Amino acid sequence: MEVTTTELTRCDLIKAVGRVNSQTAPQLEDAFKALQRQGRHNFVFDMSQVDFISSAGLRVMIHVQKMCKENAQGALVLASVPARVLETLDLAGFVPLFQIYETVVQAVGSF
C-alpha cells in the first residue's frame, strides 16, 4: 500500500493506494498521527484506489475520527469510496459514523 498526504488550506488530503490490511494499516495510522502531531485535525481520506480494507484498517479510521472529535477540532471525511469498500463499511455498521462524499472536491469543500 502507498500513502500520500497533501496539505490543503482547510484540511489535509490522505490518499491510500492498494490494500489496507493488518500489515499496511500501521503505515496509514502513522500518516494520520504525523499530521495530528502538527496540529492538523481536518482530514479527507481519498479511498478511490483502495482495493480492500480489513478490520485493522477500519480500526485506524475509527481511532482517527475519535481523536478528531475528542479535540472538537476536526473530522475525518471519506471521499470516492469504491462500492466494495463501501459495502464493507456498511456491513461493519460504520457508514453512519462518517460523512461520505462522491468526490474529493466535494469532501474538501465540506470544510
Task: Name the packing angle between helices 25-37 and 55-70 (round to 10°).
Answer: 10
Which of 6, 94, 96, 81 shows the shortest CA–CA distance to 51? 81
Question: pLDDT digit string (tens) for 60-101?
Answer: 999 999 988 886 679 999 999 999 999 999 999 999 999 999
What domains, with CATH codes, occur in the chain? 2-109 (3.30.750.24)
pLDDT for res 11: 95
Pair 108, 13: CB distance under 8 Å: yes
pLDDT at 108 over 80: yes
- For the entire predicted model, the pTM comes to 0.94
pLDDT mean across residues, the chain: 94
